Chain A
Amino acid sequence: MSCLQTIQDYALRSIGYGERLLPREGYDLCQQFTLIGSGLIWNLYFAVLALSFGFVLANAVALAKASGNRWLRGPANGFIFLFRGSPLFIQFFIAYEALVLLPRAGIDVMGITVQTSWLTRAWAGALIVLTLNTAAYSAQIFHGALMSVPKGDVEAADAYGMTGWTRFRRVIWPTMMRLAWPSYTNEAIFLFHATTLVYFSGFPAFQQKGDALYYASYFADRTFNPFVAYPIAAGYFILATLALIWAFGRVNRRLNRHLPGAATRIRYRPLMTR
């Protein structure tokens, strides 16, 4: 079987197109590259969606944490402590066990039956956990940035007669983003790497369709050779991480475009979160 044929058969296998069965013999390089790359679709799906939803949620939580109202601040602090203080792996297990307890037939809300069985699938349940997880970490970052918005900036906005929502939207929020962005880039990279945990969590991998690591461990188990499949997966992740850093660097440049010379390259400093 030629490599082109392999790509046609397996490139979209992880989302349900192409061959139904995984290859049983051969295990040549082409198959490994194709299938592991195919699994990467799921990693990207989790990362992109969790980051987008988590970003919005994180802004809300960060503002709640900074609020003067005790009833907003308390839950925000609790949410952040819960998700930052426990391992993501355990969060996956708890979410799965809790979602399984939902009634199978669905919940009756005012005459309309809400389906619940899809929540136990990896693509939905795991996405919810990842979103909440990244929201907690990002909220902490955004809150820190909000606290370090320069006093002068806010006073200048006051002097121009901006108040309330206008002041927040035009001055405080952009400055907060600008300050938080380098740390947020690290968080995004960590979240992307955390997507590999999904198929080792309680959530089922449906019909042998999995993420990059699922296929990598499949090949490593069959060939008893970890020196091919895992480096391929690692290579894919390095490439995707570089793309992520590039994209976030573009945003960083845009956020800092009014400051000449300030928009330097983002220095990747891991460990600032997580």
Chain B
Amino acid sequence: MFSYCADPSSLEGLVWLSCYLTTATHMMFYASFGTVLLLLAITAPIALLFGFGGAMALRSRIAPLRWFGGIYTSMVRGVPDIIFFLFVPIALDQGFEWVRHQILCDSDAPVRQGNDFVVCAAAKLPLNSAAPWVHDAYGIFLAVIAFSVVFGAFAANVLSGAMAAVPRAQLETAEAYGMTPRQVNRRVLIPQMWTYALPGLSNLWMILIKATPLLFILGVEDIVYWARELGGSKTSAFAYPHPDWRLYYFLGILVFYLFMTWISERVLGRVTRRLSRGQATMGGEALRKGAPA
């Protein structure tokens, strides 16, 4: 990085550290923090969308849709999320490859041969010839879907609770005005629901932040992967030899997460205040009383 870093063995103290911390592999470590933030930014809206769908399905008048919503929302109840993190990516990957096998391959051989899952070369995802970044992007794509499915179930649970918490009288009034069910949903139920959903959703955001190290299990090169790679003891064969420093790398990650949760708590507190304005709740009442006349 810096010009004086050309010969690492001649460096001492802070200068050595400044060179050590700016190596190319360290840059990839710093970039992986970006990966985590990117995953959060992509997953949160998609999970919210999944949750919205689940909650609407749970309120549906069509019985099979309602059953689906029920199963989906109660998923968070009994099953550890990590099982889904392991299951969903493999299942999706095999599903995609199976579909491509049916379309692209002309062999009649079954995909599942005993204990092996065999598809022809053209059906592989991503293709063997694809660039490395495609493999990375595909891994992240699967991770995003897995996170969205799991956190969508959490969100569906929160949102269905919030929809049930909207005072029934509000909906009946809307019906009395002659609104169709669709209009009631869009104009009364959904705008009113947010204040009830927010405590749950902010909690969900915190859980989502704290679930991101699990990316490492899904095979994405995230901060945990790099912390273990870089922190492990480096012998004299490396340009910057050092003993086992994994503890310090993990402490750095810990500080990052503590900062993330601290700042999220701040922001969510402000949003809660903003949303409870004018609502018939304790929070709204406190705001009304505190407001200058």
Contact = CB atoms under 8 A, between A and B. Distances in A.
Nearest to B117: A224
B53 interface: no
A158 interface: no
A151 interface: no
Interface string A92-129: 01100110110000000000000000000000000000
B257 A234 contact: no
A146 B78 CA distance: 29
Interface stretch (B10-18, B62-70, B125-133, B207-215): B207-215
A224 B119 CA distance: 13
15 contacts: A82-B258, A84-B261, A89-B213, A90-B224, A94-B250, A100-B244, A101-B247, A200-B217, A213-B86, A226-B86, A238-B77, A238-B78, A238-B79, A241-B78, A273-B203
A226 B115 contact: no
Interface of A: 27, 81-82, 84-91, 93-94, 97-98, 100-101, 189, 193-194, 196-197, 200, 213, 216-217, 220, 222-227, 230, 233-234, 237-238, 241-242, 268-274
B1 interface: no
Contacts of A268: 77
A97 B80 contact: no
B116 interface: yes
B80 A225 contact: no
Given A87-B257, A225-B115, A217 B250 contact: no
Contacts of A223: 115
Contact of B83 (A81, A237, A269, A273): A237
Interface stretch (B24-32, B136-144, B153-161, B268-276): B153-161
Q: Which DSSP category, helix, strand, loop or mixed, fits chain A's interface?
A: helix
A196 B85 CA distance: 12
A185 to B, nearest CB: 12
Contacts of A269: 161
A226 B161 contact: no
Given A81-B258, A89-B213, A230-B83, 5 more contacts: A27-B115, A87-B212, A227-B91, A230-B87, A271-B158
Contact of A196 (B82, B251, B254): B82
B96 interface: no
Contacts of B158: 271
B90 interface: yes
Given A85-B261, A93-B224, A193 B250 contact: no
B246 interface: yes
B156 to A, nearest CB: 11
A197 B214 CA distance: 9
A226 B77 contact: no
A200 B257 CA distance: 19
Given A87-B211, A196-B82, A234-B78, A98 B247 contact: yes
B289 interface: no
B168 interface: no
Contact of B207 (A90, A213, A217, A274): A274
